Amino acid sequence: MYADLVCKGGGVKGIALVGALSFFEEEGYIWKRVAGTSVGAIVASLVAVGYSAKEIKNIMFNLDFNQFADKDTLQSIPLVGFVTSLLISKGIHSGDYVENFLTEKFERKGKKYFRDIYSDGKSRLKVIAADVTRHKLITLPDDLVEYNINPLDFEIAKAVRMSLSIPFFYEPMVLNMGKTPCYIVDGGLLSNFPIWIFDVKDNPRWPTFGFNLYNNFEKTSSNPNGFIPYLIDVIETSLSTSEEIYFKDCDAVRIVNIPTLGINTTDFNISKDQMRYLYTSGYMSAKAFLENWDFNTYLKNYRV
């Protein structure tokens, strides 16, 4: 059974997406097109280049998430390195590790550029990012032409890195529009869950499913007076907007809602037990969803 997939962003909570992915694949679903924001873009990109859910689970469970918090050279400056990174680089961490990590994974499947995952003249993968200079959402690789870049020649890993460049936490990526540098950051600022991205006016040939991460536990800052906790709280709040409250019924019925136990986006010290919980949460949520899903009923009620 063919289907399209949209994955919500959520940092380390993205392990739950893999659990849902696993159950869908066990049920025989084959992904035609995939999209995502932030960690959702990571999962979607791994699917797009040819990784199975089982392979992605192995990658995620053996990943040291602390490596994602890589330091740039400015942080080596004694005492003032942290502030210098924020003021000059506009981010605490460089993001180089994420890009290099993904490039290596993609190349193992013989993929590196968007041209490698094009089918019928279109990219199998769409990634959401935010151009804060132009105050607009961008879809990659499609919108690269606005920056005079050939989408076919753009590296997949760079696009995914843009989508997960959490403001202030990671240095923004830069795309030039003429002589104007445009700063590109985490797409979650504008759309953390682009369930609409593959929609068509006529009846779709196959369904589009959305994997939604939601916090089923209210969690407050343990140190509201500290600068770092404050910065993390700002990041969490900006990326935790519940877009689903604006969804129509026709969107809600195709979304798998996955609880995430109050785990924060940037909890890079996540334990193996927490990883297993997230994976199981995604798996069981997908199972419960598919028990009540019928594509023909969806078409009859919402598309005909």
Q: What is the number of alpha carbons within 13 Å of residue 173 lying toward its C-beta?
A: 22
Angle (nearest 5°) at CA 127 between 254 and 98: 120
CB 124, CB 48: distance < 8 Å: yes
Tell me the C-alpha to C-alpha distance, in Å, between residue 96 and each of 130, 135, 162, 215. 19, 25, 11, 29
120 given a catalytic annotation: no
Judged by DSSP in three states, 242 sits in coil
222: its two tokens: 């343990």
**Separation of alpha carbons 91 and 10, rounded Å:** 19
Q: What is the torsional sign of CA 84, 86, 89, 93?
A: positive
Whether 186 sits among the annotated catalytic residues: the reply is yes
Beta bridge partners, 113, equal: 155
Task: Exactly one of 4, 131, 186, 251 is catalytic; name it.
Answer: 186
- HSE-CB of 250 using CA atoms within 13 angstroms: 12
Q: Which is catalytic among the residues 22, 38, 45, 163? A: 38
Residues annotated as part of the active site: 38, 186
